[in-house]
């Protein structure tokens, strides 16, 4: 890797405070970003943690673009790891869980070298990490009552947030996976009995204001501070934000074999949840679930037979109809489930961790056809993965000032509408996603232009080339930009990531636009 002094500029904090909306077959998400240096090469990897759960564990990488070059056993991790990639910082964070109790920071720009590692409390059993900024992160601790706030690079403690108010009868809320949407952190709470490991009531989601580091009351009509209460017990899978629908998705396991779980959809604006599909409809216990930008669901299911006969399978499902579409893979041998995490990449592929003891590897499927593309050896049985994307743009540095933009769908579903609003949103998320083109949707405004000041927006591709210039139109306090998804020559742009930078006096906020197929 080249020294940082010779690197081009890199995008950071890509996904902080995004405001996504669906536009028919095209999805857009615009979010805060700032620019720092980057190596010129742009490569996308699947970062995979592998483990035998006993004595050995490593991380490996797969280059997403064929021939899918694989680098096996690059470094070591704990035997109970999960992984999070923060695209803003461009860093991989391995959460070394049970009995390890630490966070491992890995730099893709330094040949995936571990550059930091720090404890988050002996016996705390960390389960996830999410970054609010380059100097502040949250760590969920499954065995403890307090959520830890740390510097994500040094591990220096910045405080804790007590979640015991949401605990079940054992006094521990069993905080698990997390996600940040706008200025709120969402934390799933398993609420299981530590003596039996069975659900003790419905699952919950704690909501935290990341500006004030205080709990958000999700139901003011009830006394005390309330979480989001799910219809399903034991939120078990990764908590994923689905930008096209603007919802959070989590698979709820319930108890093994009872089929009382399902896939829950959480509205981060209204702070409510609904059940998309039940385990009974899918026909198995859910261990992981996701939705693609096209609205198609995938889930790893386990048979309801007792161990060691609870074999696993990967299915696709229709969340609107609540039924299975296809079965992509069925485990036929082994001891207990041999399938672990799934992830979808922007190429329309589904990666499945196959932990078959004799032939482990990463199975890769085409989401458009639900057929297997290939299976790749990654060393030990894979357990979890994240896609590491290193986009860059050769454009000048913009102001590091935190700014927020919003993209709204046009009623014709053929244009992206970029709205800048000067008013700070006082009602939380309540106004998100109102009728398109009405001018009624508000976004938090931490920047503004002077009245009638010239404001323009420029669209860049990932190589930093200018794609289109947009002229704003003032509507009351807002400046609106419309992009018909064409370049300056009138050609329809290809699916992928684009960068929108708005120039308004001394302010240059910017964000990403993701155009899907």
Tens digits of per-residue pLDDT, 252-272?
A: 999 989 999 999 999 998 999
Residue 467's pLDDT is: 83
How much is the pLDDT for 453? 54
Q: How far is the CA of 159 from the CAs of 89, 124, 133, 150, in angstroms?
A: 21, 15, 15, 7
d(CA 301, CA 6): 48
How many CB atoms lie under 10 A from the CB of residue 31? Answer: 25
Helix (H) or strand (E) holding 279: helix 279-282
Among candidate residues 462, 515, 489, 401, the one with its CA nearest the CA of residue 87: 462
294, part of any domain: no
Residue 491 lies in a domain: yes
Question: From the CB of residue 509, how many other CB atoms can be counted at a distance below 10 Å?
Answer: 24
Look at residue 107 and tell me if it is in a domain.
no
Name the DSSP class of 4: G
pLDDT for position 7: 30
In terms of DSSP bridges, do strands 204-209 and 228-229 run parallel, antiparallel, or are they unpaired?
Answer: antiparallel
Neighbours of 443 (CB within 10 A): 24
Averaged pLDDT, groups of 10, the chain, 517 residues long: 32 32 29 28 82 97 94 98 91 97 95 97 98 96 98 98 96 96 94 92 97 97 97 97 85 94 95 97 97 91 89 96 96 90 91 95 96 98 90 34 34 40 26 24 32 67 73 63 77 74 63 63
Answer whether residue 472 is part of any domain.
yes
For 413, the domain range is 4-38+399-515
Look at residue 485 and tell me if it is in a domain: yes
Q: Using an 8 Å Cβ cutoff, are 84 and 129 in contact? A: yes
Which element (helix H / strand E) includes 184? strand 184-189
In a domain, 421, yes or no: yes
Closest of 321, 404, 497, 398 to residue 34, by C-alpha: 398
- 448 within a domain of the structure (yes/no): yes
- 301-327 exposure pattern, b = at least 16 Cβ within 10 A, e = fewer: bbbeeeeeebbbbbbbbebeebebeee
Q: What is the pLDDT of residues 347-356, one digit of tens each?
A: 889 999 999 9
Cβ(298)–Cβ(317) below 8 Å = yes
Rounded CA separation 214/212 (Å): 5
Phi then psi dihedrals of residue 166, to 5 deg: -100, 5
Count of domains observed in the chain: 1
Residues in the chain: 517
Q: How many Cβ atoms from other residues are within 10 Å of residue 290's Cβ?
A: 22
What are the distances in angstroms from CA 59 to CA 148, 188, 227?
A: 25, 26, 35
Structure tokens at 43: 């490569």
Q: How many CA atoms lie within 13 A of 299 on its CB side?
A: 34
Asked whether 229 and 204 are in contact (CB, 8 A), the reply is yes
Q: Is 360 helix (H, G, I), strand (E, B) or coil?
A: coil
Instruction: Tell me how far apart the 2 most distant CA atoms of the chain are, in Å.
Output: 70
What pLDDT was estimated at residue 44?
Answer: 85
C-alpha 355/C-alpha 340 separation (Å) is 7
Residue 295 lies in a domain: no
């Amino acid at each position: 890797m080249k020294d940082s002094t010779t690197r081009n500029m890199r995008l950071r904090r890509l996904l902080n405070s995004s405001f996504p909306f669906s536009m028919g077959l095209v999805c857009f998400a615009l979010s805060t970003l700032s620019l720092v240096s980057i190596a010129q090469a742009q490569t996308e990897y699947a970062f995979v943690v592998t483990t035998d759960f006993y004595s050995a564990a490593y991380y490996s990488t797969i280059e997403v673009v064929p021939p899918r070059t694989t680098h096996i056993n690059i470094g070591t991790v704990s035997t109970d790891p999960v992984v999070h990639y923060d695209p803003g910082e461009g860093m991989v964070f391995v959460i070394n869980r049970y009995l390890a109790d630490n966070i491992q920071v890995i730099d893709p720009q330094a040949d995936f070298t571990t550059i930091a590692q720090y404890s988050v409390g002996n016996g705390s059993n960390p389960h996830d990490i999410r970054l609010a900024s380059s100097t502040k992160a949250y760590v969920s601790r499954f065995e403890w009552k307090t959520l830890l706030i740390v510097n994500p690079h040094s591990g220096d403690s910045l405080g804790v947030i007590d979640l015991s108010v949401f605990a079940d009868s054992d006094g521990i809320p069993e905080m698990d996976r997390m996600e940040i949407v706008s200025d709120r952190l969402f934390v799933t709470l398993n609420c299981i009995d530590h003596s039996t490991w069975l659900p003790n009531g419905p699952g919950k989601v704690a909501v935290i204001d990341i500006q004030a580091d205080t709990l958000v009351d999700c139901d003011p009509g009830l006394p005390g501070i309330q979480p989001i209460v799910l219809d399903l017990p034991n939120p078990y899978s990764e908590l994923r934000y689905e930008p096209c629908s603007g919802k959070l998705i989590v698979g709820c396991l319930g108890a093994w074999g009872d089929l009382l779980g399902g896939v829950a959809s959480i509205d981060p604006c209204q702070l409510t949840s609904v059940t998309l599909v039940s385990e009974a409809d899918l026909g198995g216990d859910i261990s992981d679930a996701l939705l693609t930008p096209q609205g198609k669901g995938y889930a790893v299911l386990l048979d309801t037979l007792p161990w060691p006969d609870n074999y696993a399978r990967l299915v696709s499902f229709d969340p609107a109809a609540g039924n299975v579409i296809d079965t992509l893979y069925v485990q036929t041998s082994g001891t207990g489930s041999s399938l672990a995490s799934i992830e979808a990449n922007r190429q329309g592929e589904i990666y499945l961790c196959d932990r078959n003891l004799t032939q482990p590897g990463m199975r890769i499927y085409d989401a458009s056809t639900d057929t297997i593309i290939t299976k790749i050896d990654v060393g030990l049985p894979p357990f979890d993965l994240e896609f590491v994307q290193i986009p860059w743009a050769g454009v000048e540095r913009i102001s590091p000032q935190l700014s927020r933009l919003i993209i709204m769908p046009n009623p014709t579903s053929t244009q992206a509408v970029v709205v800048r609003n000067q008013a700070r949103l006082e009602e939380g998320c309540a106004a998100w996603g109102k009728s398109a083109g009405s001018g009624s949707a508000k976004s938090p405004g931490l920047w503004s232009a002077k009245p009638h000041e010239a404001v323009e927006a420029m669209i860049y591709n990932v190589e930093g080339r200018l794609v289109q210039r947009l002229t704003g139109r003032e509507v009351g306090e807002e400046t609106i930009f419309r992009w018909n998804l064409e370049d300056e020559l009138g050609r329809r742009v290809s699916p992928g990531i684009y960068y929108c930078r708005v120039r308004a006096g001394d302010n240059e906020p910017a964000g990403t636009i993701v155009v899907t197929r």
